[in-house]
Chains A and B, each alone.
Chain A
Amino acid sequence: MMLVSCQMVALAQKGLHIESLFAGKVVPQERMVETRVRGRSLSKYGLTYFHSLRFSMKDKEQKEIRRLLKQDLEGRPEQDYETSSDYENYKVFLQLPPQGTTKRMLCYREHYEQVLVIYMEGPEASFKTLEKMSNK
């Protein structure tokens, strides 16, 4: 039971290519602001896990991140993700297959070189949850 709990903590984004970004393998963690919250602090939002990254990327890193995102979108039904791109922004919203009652969502946003990535899990994980969390 303890072993299973440990594995669950360590591998929340397991199965996603973008996992290597969360693991600090694409952009060094010294250049990021990483937030990781799990448990009671999120219960009011209907989430069980929230993991975010905020950083400024370099061109080489951008290519690698986009490659990982592309791999994560490949083969998924169109209704499971939304992408948008223009001169200033590049956005990806991906709804991952739920694990039981736990919904999983990956949000990615580039604004010039500024990047924001959010992975969240929970019975109410959705875009609306982000609005609720930001007290909009």
Chain B
Amino acid sequence: MNNKDDIRILTERFFNGDTTIEEEKELYRLYQGRYVPQDLQVYREMMLDLAAIGVEEDTTTVKQEAIVIPIWRRPLFRWIAAVVALVVIGGTTTLFIHNSEEECVAYIYGQKVTDHNVVMNELSQTAMSMANSCGDDDVAQQLDEMFN
């Protein structure tokens, strides 16, 4: 296949929207050459313009790629990520410890009760019953003397 056939096939594929980037570059290169068939000359100027735009875009992309640093590689981002991680871990740990140190529950004949007032009332009643059990004798005083 010679250049004339190539340019004709690629031009047809180009207008059908079937060309790849590489094929388009090749097509622009062919239009910049000397062997452009007469019937395709009408497209020459357009192809040269597209070729010029393509070069500009390539250059811009290269420049941008050279400048752009992924956000996760920026020092500030790393610091922020580290602080956020510490806050999340610290918060979770504190919450866990807080929860494990806080409990207020009663099981009344198998029924779980978490109402603070109900539980504390039960606690108070239990303490009262125990304290009263020693109220009539001198055991209470003995206990206080023993344990204090």
Contacts and interface: CB of A to CB of B under 8 A. Distances in A.
B140 A127 contact: yes
Contacts of B124: 133-135
B122 interface: yes
Given A127-B147, A133-B127, A2 B104 contact: no
B101 interface: yes
B132 A134 contact: yes
Interface of B: 93, 96-97, 100-110, 116, 119-120, 122-134, 137, 139-140, 142-144, 146-148
Interface residues of A, number: 47
B130 A118 contact: yes
Interface stretch (A13-21, A30-38, A58-66): A30-38
Nearest to B121: A35
Contacts of A74: none
Given A32-B107, A33-B109, A39-B103, A50 B123 contact: yes
A6 B100 contact: yes
A36 B144 CA distance: 24
A1 interface: yes
A128 B97 CA distance: 30
A36 B100 CA distance: 13
B111 to A, nearest CB: 9
A129 to B, nearest CB: 8
